[in-house]
Amino acid sequence: MKAVRIIVSGIVQGVGFRYFVRETALELEVNGYAANLPSGEVEIIAEAELLSLTHFVEHVQRGPRHAVVTYCDVQDIELPESFHGFSIR
């Protein structure tokens, strides 16, 4: 298992981005959460097998059709415990 923290910039709040991320995560068996940040960005914590996580990040970088992703910062992280499922915060 691998875990990443993704910060997504652009037009990513109020356009269904977090719901898109959750649906993609459920399809790819990725655990974690997506949350709006006060800065207008979205933070994603994601944990999965490497191949699933790679595909997940690719989808996040494109986003849904109403979103405009201008920047996506992906950093490897260590999680103190595993997530079960994927939630929106």
Kindly report, residue by residue over 12-54, the tens digit of the pLDDT.
999 999 999 999 999 999 999 999 999 999 999 999 999 999 9
What pLDDT is attached to residue 2? 95
What residues does each domain of the chain span? 2-79
**Is 36 in the active site?**
yes
Judge whether residue 67 has pLDDT over 90.
yes
* CATH for 2-79, options being 3.90.1150.10, 3.40.50.1100, 2.40.50.100, 3.30.70.100: 3.30.70.100
What pLDDT is attached to residue 82? 83
Q: 53 with 21: CB under 8 angstroms?
A: no
List 5, 31, 36, 62, catalytic entry:
36
List 18, 22, 65, 89, catalytic entry:
18
**Is 18 in the active site?**
yes
Quote the pTM value.
0.94
Kindly report, residue by residue over 1-12, the tens digit of the pLDDT.
899 999 999 999
